[in-house]
Amino acid sequence: MGRALSREVKQALQDIYYNERTGRGKEAFALLEKASEAGDGDASCILARCLSGSSYVWAGHGFPEDDEKAAKLLHKSVEQGSALGVLVTMRCQELTPELEQRMPFASLQEAFDIAHAQAEDGDAFCQYVVANSYFWWDFLRIQNADKKFFRSEADQKAYMRENISKCEDLFWKALRGGIYFAANNLNRYYTKGDEDIIAPQPEKARDLWKIGAEYGHPLHQMIYAKDLEEAGRNKEALEWYTRAAEGGEPEAWGNVGRFYYNGIGTEKDESYAVQCFEKGVQKGDINSYNRLGGAYFYGRGIRQDYAKAFELLSYTFDKGSKWGAYYLGRCCFEGWGVPKDYEKARKYLEQVNWNSSDTCYLFGMMYIRGLGVAQDLPKGIAYLQSAGNHKEAREELLHYRKTLFGKWVRR
C-alpha cells in the first residue's frame, strides 16, 4: 500500500499509455497480469482499464474487451490497497458501500491523498485519475460534502468552482506526460464548461488534437488529419494519416488508402491503395474491409474477384455496416462470385439507404421481370425513372410506352 508505483506498473504505463507506438502493449499487458496476481493493486487497476475498451485504452494494442473481468479486477485493486483503484472504481460506479468497507484505507480522503501525492510526483496516469475526481465531481463524495456542508448557495458554488477548476492543470499535465485521452475531457471542459459554474472557453480547445498529434499519439494524429481534410488541406492530412497508420492506429491505413485510391492530396496509386487497405484489414478496420471489397469488385488496383469482394463485404455487412449493400446485391442479382439469388439481392438492396441510381436500376429490372418479387410493371418503370441518367435504365425505358389509358406496356 506504498505511495510509489511499482517498477512493473511504471513500465506498463510507458508501453500502454505514454509511448503506445512502441508496439510492446501485449508484453506490458502480461506484465500487469503477473503483478496483479502477485498482489499489486495498481497493476490490477490498470489491467482493468486495459479490458474496458477503446474509451479507456488505445485500440491499436488489440486488447480483449471484457467488462465483467474488468469490474472484478477493479474490486480486487481496492481490496489490494490501490489508491488509484479506489478512485477509478468510484468513477466507474463500482465502489459499493460494502466494497468501501473492505478497502484498507481509513477513508476515501486517505486514498485520494495518496493518489494525489502520486500525481504530484509526476505520474501522468495518476494526474489523469485525480483530474477526473475533480472533473466528474467525485470530490463531493470523497470530502463528504453534502448540502449541510455549506452555509449558502453562493458558498456551495464557490466551493464547486474552486474544486472543478483544479482538473484543468492536471489534465494538461497528464496530456503532456503521455495520457492522450486527457485531451478528450479537456475538450469537453473548454467547449461545454460545467453548468453555470465553469464558463465555456472554446478558443482553448482549438489546438488540442494538433498538440496530441505532435506529441506522437496515433489516435490524435488521425483526428487531426480528419480536421485538416475537412479544412481542405489534403496534402497535410495525408501526411498525418500516414504517421497515424505507421504508429499503429487501426483506422488510419484505410484513410491513407482512400487518399491514394482517389488521388486526394497525392497522385492516384490504386495498387498502393490496395496495399494500405490490406494493412487496415489486418488491424480489423471495417472501413478497410469495405474499401478492399470495393477494389476487388471493380478490379481497381488488384485483379477483379467478385467472390473475394462478396466475402469481405459480407463480413462488414454482418457487423452492421451497410456500405457494401449495393455490391452484395449486385453480386447476387448477376451471379457474380456467388449463385444467382434474387431474393437475397432484394434484401441487400433494400439496405441501400442513400440515393443510388444503380440500385434503382436493379429494383426496376426486378419488378419489371418479376425477379425475387411479384411482377409490377408500373413500379419497375418508376424505379427506372428514378435512376435518372443511368445508361442501362434509359435504354430499358425505351422498350416501354404508356397507352392512352395511362397503362404501361412493352413496345
What is the mean pLDDT, run by run of 10 residues, along the chain of 411 residues? 84 95 94 98 98 94 96 98 97 96 96 96 97 97 84 90 97 96 96 96 95 94 97 98 96 97 97 98 96 98 98 97 97 97 96 93 96 95 95 95 88 86
DSSP assignment string, 106-118: S-HHHHHHHHHHH
Which candidate, 210, 292, 280, places its Cα nearest to that of 249? Answer: 280
Question: Which CATH class for the 209-304 domain?
Answer: mainly alpha
The kind and range of the H/E element at 410 are: strand 408-410
Residue 391 CB-density burial (10 A; 0-12 exposed, 13-18 middle, 19+ buried)? exposed
Long-range contacts of 392-401 (CB under 8 A, 24+ apart): 392/361, 393/357, 393/360, 393/361, 393/364, 396/361, 396/364, 396/365, 396/368
Q: Which of 259, 202, 248 is nearest to 226 (CA)?
A: 259
Please report the pLDDT score of residue 153 as a whole number.
86
Beta bridge partners of 409: 401
* C-alpha–C-alpha distance, residues 133 and 166, integer Å: 10
Q: How far is residue 357 from each of residues 99, 188, 343, measured CA to CA in Å? A: 60, 41, 20
Domain boundaries, the chain: 7-206, 209-304, 355-411
Query: What pLDDT score was predicted for residue 1?
Result: 44
Q: Give the CA count within 13 Å in the CB-facing half-sphere of 260.
A: 22
pTM of the model: 0.87
pLDDT for position 9: 97
Give burial (CB, 10 Å; 0-12/13-18/19+) of 339.
exposed
Residues 23, 27, 30, 31, CA torsion sign: negative
How many angstroms separate the CA atoms of 226 and 76, rounded? 40
Q: Which residues contact 111 (CB under 8 A, 6 or more apart)?
A: 83, 86, 87, 103, 105
